Amino acid sequence: MDTSWTKKEIEEILWQLDKMQLPFTNSSIFFSNQNKELGEGGSGYVFDCYRRRDGKCEGVIKVIGFKDFADYIGIHRETMLQQEVARQCKNVVKIYEAVCLKLWLNEDGQVTKTQIMQKESAKDEFKYDCNCITLAFIRMEKLQPVIYKDESGKIKCFNNELISKTNEEVMKLFYDTACAVEAAHKRKILHGDIKLENIFYDKVHKIYKLGDFGSAVQTEFGVAKVAGYTNGYVAPEVYNCTVRKFDAAADIYSLGMAIYILRNQLVKIGSSNYSPNLELQYQEDYVLEKPVNDSEDDDYLYMILRKMCSYHPADRPKKMRDIIGMIVGIMVRPWYGMQVKHIWSYVIFGILLIAKGAISGMGEYQPWLTESAVLGFVVCIKAASLCIRNRKIYRCLYLFRKIDMTYLLSILAIEAWNIGGTCILFSDIIHGTDYFYVDAPRCLFWITVIEFTLLLSLDKLKKDAQDLYCEWSRFLFLAKEEWRKL
């Protein structure tokens, strides 16, 4: 049977199957007599998936078989492996179900017979038949691809922060994807084809997920035969055929290369675009160059990527757990990029703390608050240190850069608790005294109120607090995992 299909022919076949409530009883590619094709990959097409009952979009359906022969045994293996890892790790794309159909068509393109493939009899049934076509349907959660092709065919990134000078969003993607790979390796599953096209963003949970386990292999001894790969991402030992089997080191290389390409603004090694220069990349003496978006603060990240993308597998990190530890080391470092965004916030808090110390020094109330003035100067110096790019001064102000919003919030909480003006204020209200009379305790109290109001009202500080909470939560999770090992 002719293997070249037009989009109109494909749509007609899918429409006929949908009227038969195939491939899924409760889900449909069509709604209101329309279907929406989301994308076209190397092996198939992706469509929106609607619930038949009320037309609510509940994911996507990937259709395989119009381009390549749909190997049901391989698709079943892919589905089982991906579902197994997804149950243990939230950073893996969820597959809900998969179905494989054999279709017989007449000369007019009408479906005359269908047969659902069963895994028990797949070896007997799943033989090439020139009178029918075999289609595989995979229903999975709907996510945003990290990169995509625009109408002109140019590769684009869905979030410009991933290819910007700052590395905050890249580190989140790096961490989430590394967790997915590490979860797979724990179950002796090698992904085999890690690339940006297989990384997705979950807008609901705000995390990145790894998908497409089509080349994944579950091993017994940690090595497997090469099933498939992508030029520019594949490890040198696989590309150059120096080994017949690959191990976890190949996945480590591919992940490092994916992060490098992001930091290089979607330009592959030795090229001016997304097409790789394979001759240069897979030379034994090639050393990974610094990416376009590299800065002084990214030296450690570049060192990690260079080690991950070493030519010889023995020179790469041995386990994904080691890489995750390095990533966390960058994410929780005190001068992490998110603080640079809030320089003026530190200036405001510094001035308020100086004012609080000055007021306390004018009266006999709580003279210890003059320490607030000292802290205020320190915070202002921190704000200045965030603006400085000179490496020598940068190192001299290291201690000032360690002060973060979490620390300031704890200082404010302690001061608010200890200020006697709070008790005096409520005492004055009870006795009918004019509590607007300005003295030192009341000024200190109202300054503290202003500080907390600023903290709660500024959107930037909200995001800062959320980011810090998120990163430290990940750090604590990692610490617990290490503790369990001990």
Instruction: Give 173-219 pLDDT, tens digit per residue.
Output: 999 999 999 999 999 999 999 999 999 999 998 999 999 998 899 88
Q: Are residues 116 and 244 in the same domain?
A: no
Q: Are residues 345 and 391 in the same domain?
A: yes
Is residue 157 predicted with pLDDT exceeding 80? yes
Q: Are residues 174 and 303 in the same domain?
A: yes
**Average pLDDT of 25-42?**
70
CATH code (residue 315): 1.10.510.10
User: What confidence score (pLDDT) does residue 437 get?
Assistant: 43
- Asked whether residue 191 is assigned to any structural domain, the reply reads yes
How many domains in the chain?
3
Q: Final residue of a domain: which of 305, 329, 353?
A: 329
CATH code (residue 128): 3.30.200.20
Q: Are residues 317 and 428 in the same domain?
A: no
CA angle 439, 443, 447 (to 5 degrees): 175
Q: What is the pLDDT of residues 378-408, one digit of tens each?
A: 667 666 665 554 445 545 555 555 555 555 5
How is residue 197 written in tokens? 């096209």
Is residue 254 predicted with pLDDT exceeding 70? yes
- Asked whether residue 193 is assigned to any structural domain, the reply reads yes
**CA distance readout (Å), 393 to 252, 400, 404:** 36, 11, 19
pTM here is 0.68
User: What confidence score (pLDDT) does residue 4 get?
Assistant: 76
Q: Are residues 164 and 203 in the same domain?
A: yes
Q: Are residues 82 and 178 in the same domain?
A: no
121 vs 147, more confident: 147
- Asked whether residue 149 is assigned to any structural domain, the reply reads no
- Asked whether residue 2 is assigned to any structural domain, the reply reads no
Q: Are residues 289 and 167 in the same domain?
A: yes
Structure-token match 């029918």, residue found: 132
- Asked whether residue 243 is assigned to any structural domain, the reply reads yes
- Compute φ and ψ for 19, nearest 5 degrees: -65, -25
Q: Are residues 274 and 188 in the same domain?
A: yes
Single-letter code of the amino acid located at 106: N
User: What confidence score (pLDDT) does residue 361 get?
Assistant: 57
Neighbours of 441 (CB within 10 A): 20
Q: Final residue of a domain: which of 302, 329, 356?
A: 329
Domain carrying residue 74 = 7-142
Q: Final residue of a domain: which of 142, 175, 199?
A: 142
Q: Are residues 344 and 309 in the same domain?
A: no
**Average pLDDT of 51-64?**
90
Q: Are residues 196 and 302 in the same domain?
A: yes
- Asked whether residue 148 is assigned to any structural domain, the reply reads no
Q: Are residues 259 and 131 in the same domain?
A: no
> Residue 249 contacts by C-beta under 8 Å, 6 or more apart in sequence?
235, 237, 313, 314, 316, 318
**What is the rounded CA–CA span in Å between residue 269 and residue 275?**
9
- Asked whether residue 150 is assigned to any structural domain, the reply reads no
Q: Are residues 265 and 211 in the same domain?
A: yes
58 vs 362, more confident: 58
- Asked whether residue 101 is assigned to any structural domain, the reply reads yes
Mean pLDDT of the chain: 77
